[in-house]
Amino acid sequence: MKETILNKATELFLEQGFKSVTMDDLANEMGISKKTIYSHFENKTKLIEESTSHLLNSISAGIDDIRELHKNPIEELYEIKKFVMLHLKDEKSSPQYQLQKYYPKIHKIMHTRQFEIMEDCVLANIKRGMEHGIYRENLNIDFVARIYFTGVTSIKDLKLFPVNRFPIRKLMDDYLEYHLRGIITPEGRIILHKIINSNEK
């Protein structure tokens, strides 16, 4: 039952936001009593803590699965972006903003873990891209990995990128293209254009 509650809570948090969803909402949605929820999670903060950890574990496992397919590095980044967007349900309710505002300690822990997951993935991706000759050979790998992470987290700032002007799906596509155009070789550009053209069809 704990796993079922965790899955449903994570789904609601992503759809409506961490602050917006109450324990009553969760109980009503699941057709169970609040007492049942509290028998597994002592309070909402604990539920959010476990929910964010559960979500990151799922995303991390999914990214590992994609990496094991050994696609070319440019295609790999697009596959990971697509998977993460699907898992986060396009972040329609800006849950990360609510998490940062109302649960800053949990947000800080999540941010650190996100960096650890992404750093390993992006560093490996850049190295492979350089070996394949589709990323420039003179890249400062650590700098590129960190600037990429900084950008991915910064574009979720609603004050900088309000959703009505920057729909999240388009914003992520634009950012990934921006990142890649700064590091690819002419050979990499051919691959990038093929992916962009196929995505537009």
Instruction: Return the CATH number at 195.
Output: 1.10.357.10
Please indicate, yes or no, if residue 39 is contained in any of the structural domains. Answer: no
Task: Specify the pLDDT at position 101.
Answer: 86
First and final CA of the chain: distance in angstroms?
43
* Farthest CA pair distance, the chain: 61
Please indicate, yes or no, if residue 78 is contained in any of the structural domains. Answer: yes
Task: Give the structural domain span for 132.
Answer: 52-200
Task: Specify the pLDDT at position 34.
Answer: 93
Structure tokens at 82: 């697509």
Task: Specify the pLDDT at position 3.
Answer: 92
Please indicate, yes or no, if residue 21 is contained in any of the structural domains. Answer: no
Q: How far apart are CA 2 and CA 150, in angstroms?
A: 34
CA distances from residue 163 to 66, 90, 119, 188 in whole angstroms, order as listed = 28, 11, 27, 31
Please indicate, yes or no, if residue 20 is contained in any of the structural domains. Answer: no
Please indicate, yes or no, if residue 77 is contained in any of the structural domains. Answer: yes
Structure tokens at 53: 């950890």
DSSP 8-state secondary structure symbol assigned to residue 184:
B
Are 134 and 72 within 8 A, CB to CB?
Answer: yes
Amino acid letter, residue 3 = E
Please indicate, yes or no, if residue 129 is contained in any of the structural domains. Answer: yes
Per-residue pLDDT of the chain (201 residues; tens, 9 = 90+): 999 999 999 999 988 889 889 999 999 999 999 999 999 999 999 999 999 999 999 999 999 999 999 999 999 999 999 998 887 765 555 677 788 889 999 999 998 998 988 889 999 999 999 999 999 999 999 999 999 999 988 888 888 888 889 988 899 999 999 999 999 999 999 999 999 998 776
Please indicate, yes or no, if residue 34 is contained in any of the structural domains. Answer: no
Q: How far apart are CA 86 and CA 98, in angstroms?
A: 20
Task: Specify the pLDDT at position 138.
Answer: 95
- What total of structural domains would you count in the chain? 1
